[in-house]
Structure 1
């Protein structure tokens, strides 16, 4: 009987700091009714690429989230580096969990 290989640890979650002006976007405000004044606004994503490369693609308009394209300032590795890398399914779950945790901490969060 063949042995099963463990899932590849090839995916990452990442967090992008967004300019405060994103708060002027009605859809962002609506998604964050409990945003604490003074807490950052962020985008939470997952990728099979290195987070730095994925951020560069967002900013170049390649498969970009519109908020990251327009308001993305930089990555916040202190909020995600501890989790990476991981298998695809774990990254999918962690993206949601990380977004929920940051929103509960008062961050303004966009997660696609």
Structure 2
């Protein structure tokens, strides 16, 4: 009998990026309202455990270029409350979380 995937196994996650990411023109352009007192972040979604996904980014496996170059650590305090969830909910939450964090003054990259 084939194994069935759990329907609620997707996650949103947030990565703290080094402030050096601010030197990247694309990142700056995406964050015109960034409060310099708040950190720069990457928001993503995955069907993996966020810790494993972060490790893959840092190893260059399906990595976002900003996470690969500037990733510092996960920030579970900004996302744990939402996980786990179904795929479609995670897709929507990735966008909503990025918008909310950007509106709160964080620098955010969400691909």
Q: What is the TM-score normalised by the length of structure 2?
A: 0.94
Q: Where does the alignment leave 5 or more consecutive residues of structure 2 unmatched?
A: 1-5
**Between Structure 1 and Structure 2, how many residues are aligned?**
106
- Which string of whole-angstrom CA distances, capped at 9 and with x for unpartnered residues, describes residues 12-39 of structure 1? 0000000000000000000000001111
2: CA distance, partners of 1:103 / 1:53: 25
Please name the residue that 2:92 is paired with: 93
Please name the residue that 1:27 is paired with: 26
Please name the residue that 2:59 is paired with: 60
Please name the residue that 1:104 is paired with: 103
Q: Does 1:15 align with 2:3?
A: no
Please name the residue that 2:49 is paired with: 50
Q: Which runs of 4+ in 1 moved over 2 A?
A: none
Q: Where does the alignment leave 5 or more consecutive residues of structure 1 unmatched?
A: 1-6
Cα RMSD after superposing both structures: 0.8
2: CA distance, partners of 1:109 / 1:82: 19
- Which string of whole-angstrom CA distances, capped at 9 and with x for unpartnered residues, describes residues 56-91 of structure 1? 000000000000000000000000000000000000
Q: What is the TM-score normalised by the length of structure 1?
A: 0.93
Please name the residue that 1:38 is paired with: 37
